[in-house]
Amino acid sequence: MKKKVFLFLVSCLLFFQSKAQCAMCRAVLESGEDQSAAEGINDGIMFLMVVPYILVATIGYIIYRTYNKSQKTKNTGEIL
């Protein structure tokens, strides 16, 4: 379990370091002189991209927890 948590944290850190821009945004922003606008657009894209992943991970965790809880109930019922 610790290995899975570690791999998840490492993948999240790598994800946050990546640069995400669509081709049109990149072309427009590279032609400009002001690079702070490009960084702002990039940060906005990353923020919008993270929210769906967090929602899917939360739903997956709830399903996982519910499934394990029902498995433990079945296993303890057989022992008694």
What's the pLDDT at 19?
58
> Per-residue pLDDT tens for 15-61?
665 555 566 766 777 776 777 777 777 788 888 888 899 999 999 99
Residue 80 confidence class, pLDDT cut points 50, 70, 90: very low
What's the pLDDT at 62?
94
> Per-residue pLDDT tens for 59-79?
999 999 998 887 777 776 555
Sequence ranges of the domains in the chain = 15-79
31 to 24, 34, 38: CA distances (angstroms)? 11, 9, 10
